[in-house]
């Protein structure tokens, strides 16, 4: 988190001169220097940095030049759109990767497994924006089934604008969330498959068969539970990467989320907003990693024991 704060601060420092933004060109050098002194911009680097961190602790990252509002407020108003998109993609990934991964690990030679593996190779190698544009072309332009941009109708739930509760909102969600999951889903299928195949080599699986257990029990209880451990670890990291992919997806679908806002902020040179984005994304990383650790502990008895002591 400190590292993120540091990077954010460095960007703020290097991105243009805030004085010029505030004052314009007509002000004399002397006046500029005076203002700079007042704002504390001539203080040593570390002093400025600690002031920045102190502000960030209180949720004050700076004001957006463009929106003329607190950068944090701007980003928080955009967060629901992104989070809903990520949530739906994660749901798609979990719902499909687990059964497909398990199936192709158990029957590596079957035709269906080969199709899954072939498809996932293809899926990984097609970039997100191409998948997105292809989908827009097929389902919006040609077939007119699905809307191609925006969030559609949203409902305000105590400050959280959700698109999950209206049919129109859900329709708008379909393509962006498929596009967003198009890279991670194949990766997860492959990950689950390879981890599970490795687990199936273990003696305890052979022993489970020797005990006369039903196939479902051997595969789900004995094999998949052990497969979960490495998948959770990698999964946590990948969920963070998915946030990065939201920038792409949101831009293509003009999805009014944090990623889209970030691109706009970069175009406008709106440094405080960029920093705010980095800080919020960093925060999400930290939360996700903590959650992953907690879930890992729930599955792995060894961690649980050491935790108890």
Binding site for another protein (CB under 8 A): 202-204, 206-214, 217, 221-222, 225-226, 229, 299-302, 305
Residue closer to another protein by CB (options 68, 211) is 211
Residue closer to another protein by CB (options 72, 208) is 208
CB of 101 to another protein, least distance (A): 18
CA distance readout (Å), 190 to 54, 175, 241 = 44, 23, 17
Residue closer to another protein by CB (options 200, 278) is 200
The pair phi, psi for residue 35, each rounded to 5°, is -60, -40
CB of 162 to another protein, least distance (A): 37
CA dist., res. 87 & res. 83, Å (int): 6
CB of 299 to another protein, least distance (A): 7
CB of 62 to another protein, least distance (A): 47
CA distance readout (Å), 75 to 45, 59, 111, 154, 278 = 27, 12, 47, 18, 10
CB of 202 to another protein, least distance (A): 7
CB of 120 to another protein, least distance (A): 23
Residue closer to another protein by CB (options 77, 300) is 300
The pair phi, psi for residue 26, each rounded to 5°, is -70, -15
Residue closer to another protein by CB (options 156, 201) is 201
CB of 301 to another protein, least distance (A): 4
Residue closer to another protein by CB (options 98, 284) is 98
CB 82 within 8 A of CB 253: no
69: left (phi over 0), alpha (psi -120 to 50) or beta: beta
CB of 75 to another protein, least distance (A): 40
Burial 198-235 (b: 16+ CB within 10 A, else e): ebbeeeebeebeeeeeeeeebbeebbbebbbbbbbeeb
């Amino acid at each position: 988190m400190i590292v993120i704060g540091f990077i954010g601060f460095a960007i703020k420092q290097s991105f243009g001169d805030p004085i010029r933004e505030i004052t314009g060109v007509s002000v004399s050098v002397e006046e500029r220097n005076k203002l700079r002194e007042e704002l504390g911009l001539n203080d040593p680097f570390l002093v400025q940095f600690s002031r920045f961190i102190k502000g960030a602790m209180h949720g004050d990252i700076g004001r957006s030049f463009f929106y003329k509002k607190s950068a944090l407020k701007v980003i928080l108003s955009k967060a629901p759109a992104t989070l809903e998109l990520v949530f739906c993609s994660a749901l798609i990934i979990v719902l499909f990767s687990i059964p497909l991964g398990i199936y192709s690990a158990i029957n590596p030679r079957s035709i269906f497994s080969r199709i899954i593996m072939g498809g996932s190779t293809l899926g990984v190698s097609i970039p997100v924006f191409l998948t997105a544009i292809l989908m827009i072309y097929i389902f919006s332009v040609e077939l007119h089934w699905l809307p191609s941009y925006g969030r559609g109708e949203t409902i305000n739930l105590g400050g959280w604008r959700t698109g999950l509760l209206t049919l129109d909102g859900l329709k708008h969600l379909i393509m962006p969330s498929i596009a967003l999951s198009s890279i991670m889903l194949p990766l997860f299928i492959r990950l689950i498959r390879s981890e599970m195949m490795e687990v199936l080599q273990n003696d305890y699986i052979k022993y489970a068969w020797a005990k006369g257990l039903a196939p479902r029990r051997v595969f789900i209880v004995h094999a998949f539970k052990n497969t979960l451990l490495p998948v959770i670890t990698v999964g946590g990291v990948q969920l963070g990467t998915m946030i990065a992919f939201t920038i792409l997806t949101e831009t293509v679908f003009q999805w009014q989320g944090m990623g889209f806002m970030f691109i706009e902020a970069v175009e406008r040179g709106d440094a405080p907003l960029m920093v705010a984005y980095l800080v919020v994304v960093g925060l999400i990383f930290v939360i996700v990693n903590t959650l992953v650790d907690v879930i890992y502990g729930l599955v792995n008895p060894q961690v649980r024991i050491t935790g108890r002591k």
